[in-house]
Amino acid sequence: MRCALRCAWADRMRVLVGADESAVARAAAALITERRPNVLGVATGSSPVLTYRELVRARSLPGNVQLCLLDEYVGLAPTDPHRYRAVIMAQLAAPLGLPDHHVHAPDVDADDLDLAAQRYEQLLCELGGVDVQLLGIGRNGHIGFNEPGTPIESRTHVGFLHDATRVDNARFFASLDHVPHKVVTQGLATIAGARSIILIATGAAKNEATTALVTRRQSPLVPASGLFDHPDLTVIGDHAALDGATYPRTLLEPV
């Protein structure tokens, strides 16, 4: 029984360990490129920044790629540069020369946010689904803004950030008071619907969360662990984020 589990696990999830953030980014960009996504799901925050830089440098994405955000803050002015849509425009879409209408996010300015969430879910369907979803992971195991306790079957919905997540994200804002409480995020089932998932984790602060994911401690308390059974999941991280647990892994060659 133990062996059967191990085999299924090794078949499904790939764990790649790089020496540093640059090696991780190069591997993530190469994998995204290999998948030739028409629809690329994009995360924000620190984790994917170097990967976006690599993708811009290589110009290796299909020219007509559609970028779909994982989540968006509610309550920021439409022109606020902290909006995740603005971040993706600046880090990826604009440098690649992608037009504005190739970048999709939930309409967080709508009066009815629940409806806006449903519409986003619908849009992802109309685009044919997400081919490759790039993810970071929160210290508490959140993916997108699905905080611990979010049901595994959740679809795009209105959510609230945990205090710890707001504290972590305060580094992007003038102060903690500026960090929104409310978000619209793809749900765990929405994320898991992507054909291919690449999760990036670097730094010791992520070790507990990634260990819970890669060692199959599946629990609603660690939202990322809901991805465990995904048929095409690659976790790419550095030693600080991934060392410690016993699981099959591939060391990335230094380039």
**Residue 13 in the binding site for ligand F6R (CB under 6 A):** no
DSSP-derived pairing of the beta strands 103-104 and 182-185: unpaired
Closest to 228 measured CA to CA, from 241, 243, 244, 209: 209
**Least distance from ligand F6R to the Cβ atom of residue 125, Å:** 20
Cα of first residue to Cα of last residue in the chain, in angstroms, is: 39
**Least distance from ligand F6R to the Cβ atom of residue 129, Å:** 19
Question: CA 109, 106, 140: angle at the middle one, nearest 5?
Answer: 110
| Both tokens assigned to 36 | 């030739």
Q: How far apart are CA 38 and CA 132, in angstroms?
A: 9
What one-letter code names the amino acid at 100? D
**Residue 43 in the binding site for ligand F6R (CB under 6 A):** yes
Q: How far apart are CA 165 and CA 176, in angstroms?
A: 10
**Least distance from ligand F6R to the Cβ atom of residue 137, Å:** 6
Residue pair 240/202 in contact (Cβ under 8 Å)? The answer is yes
Q: What is the total count of residues that contact ligand F6R (CB under 6 A)?
A: 15
**Residue 70 in the binding site for ligand F6R (CB under 6 A):** yes
Nearer to ligand F6R, 45 or 180 (CB): 45
71 tagged catalytic: yes
Q: Which stretch binds ligand F6R (CB under 6 A): 26-34, 45-53, 125-133, 209-217?
A: 45-53
**Residue 226 in the binding site for ligand F6R (CB under 6 A):** no
**Residue 66 in the binding site for ligand F6R (CB under 6 A):** no
Nearer to ligand F6R, 64 or 175 (CB): 175
DSSP-derived pairing of the beta strands 182-185 and 71-73: antiparallel
Q: Which stretch binds ligand F6R (CB under 6 A): 19-27, 44-52, 57-65, 98-106?
A: 44-52
CA dihedral of 120, 121, 127, 128, whole degrees rounded to 10: 170
140 tagged catalytic: yes
Report the residue from 18, 41, 106, 138 that binds ligand F6R according to the rule CB under 6 A.
138
DSSP-derived pairing of the beta strands 250-251 and 182-185: unpaired
Closest to 165 measured CA to CA, from 147, 149, 192, 152: 147
147 tagged catalytic: yes
**Least distance from ligand F6R to the Cβ atom of residue 21, Å:** 11
Stretch 72-111: interaction string toward ligand F6R, x if CB under 6 A:
------------x---------------------------
Name residue 184's beta-bridge partners.
72, 158
Nearer to ligand F6R, 71 or 238 (CB): 71
Active site residues: 71, 140, 142, 147
The footprint of ligand F6R (CB under 6 A) covers 43-47, 70-71, 84, 136-138, 142-145
